[in-house]
Amino acid sequence: MALPYSNDNIVLVAVQAACVALPAAGLPAWALRFRGGAWALIAPLSIAIVVGGLALLPQGADALTWVALIGVPLGAALAFGWAAHGARPPLALIAAVAFVLAWQTPDTRWGEAGGVLLVAASCVTIGRLLTGVAPLDLLKAGIVAMAVIDAVLVFGNQLQGPNATLVAAMPGGGLPQLQSANFGRAGMGYGDFFAAGVLGGIVAVEARRLRHQLYVALAVFGAALAWDLMFTWFDTLPATVPVAVVLVVREGLRRWRPGLAVAVRREGVTAAQD
C-alpha cells in the first residue's frame, strides 16, 4: 500500500525533527536582563496575528517576505555560529552559502534545500533564545496553544487562504522567499519549524543531555510521519500538532516518573552548552 505522502514530505519532516535535536542551551550574561513571561506569547500569537492580519490586509504578505529575507539568514548564521550543538563562528558562513543557493538556483533541489536549511536553522536560534528568556512552563503552554490554533484554522479551512497568499508573496528582485519552506511537492510553514525549535530548546535546558534531545527528535519524526497518514483524507495538515503531542506525552512521562525530570537552575546561566 502506497503511503499518502511523498519522499519530499519525509525530507521536511526530518528537517523539522532536526530542529528539535539541534538547539543548545544557555545565554550570555548580558541577555539575561531580557527575561520575562511575555516572550512565551510569541508562539501562539505568531499564527493568530499573521492569519488575521493577512485576512484583513493581504498586502501585508509583501512586508513579511522582507522581514523573513532579513531575519531568517541572520538567525541561520547565529545557529551555525552559536546556537546549535557543535556551532562555531566560522560555520556561520554555511548560512551565506545556503542563501546564495536559494537565491541563484531557486527552482533546483539545491536551491530549495538552501531555503529549507535557512528556515530551519533560524528556528534553532529562536528555540535557544526563547528558552533562555521565557519560563519553560509558559513556553510549553504556548506550543500547545499554537498547535490548537493551527488545527482549528486548518480544519476550519481558515488558514489555507492566508497561507497561500503568504507563500505566493515575493520580495522582488529575484531574491529568495524565506517565509516558508518548500521542497519538491511538499511545503511547511515557518511556524511548524518554529514550534520544533522551541521544543528542542526546552529539552536542551531541562535534560542537559544531547542523547535525550535526540530521542525527543526521533519521537517528533515518528509522530509527524504517523500524523501525515491523514493526507489520505486532507490536502493540508497542521504540522505543529505532532510537536505538541510529543511535548504533552513527554510531560506526562516526566510527572509519572519523577526521576526523568531534571531540576534546572535558571539563575546565573551564562555559558553556552555545546
What is the amino acid identity at position 143? I
| pLDDT score for 2 | 52
Instruction: For residue 183, list its beta bridge partners.
Output: 186
| pLDDT score for 3 | 61
Instruction: For residue 236, list its beta bridge partners.
Output: none
Domain boundaries, the chain: 36-260
Cα separation values, 225 from 3, 47, 257, Å:
10, 23, 27
Q: What global pTM score does this model have?
A: 0.89
What is the amino acid identity at position 209? R
CB atoms within 10 A of CB 164: 13
| pLDDT score for 258 | 58
Cα separation values, 252 from 37, 85, 261, 266, Å:
23, 27, 11, 22
> What are the cell numbers at 149?
490554533
Split the chain (274 residues) into runs of 10 and give each run's mean pLDDT.
74 97 90 86 80 72 88 97 97 97 94 97 96 94 93 86 79 86 91 96 89 95 95 90 96 72 42 42
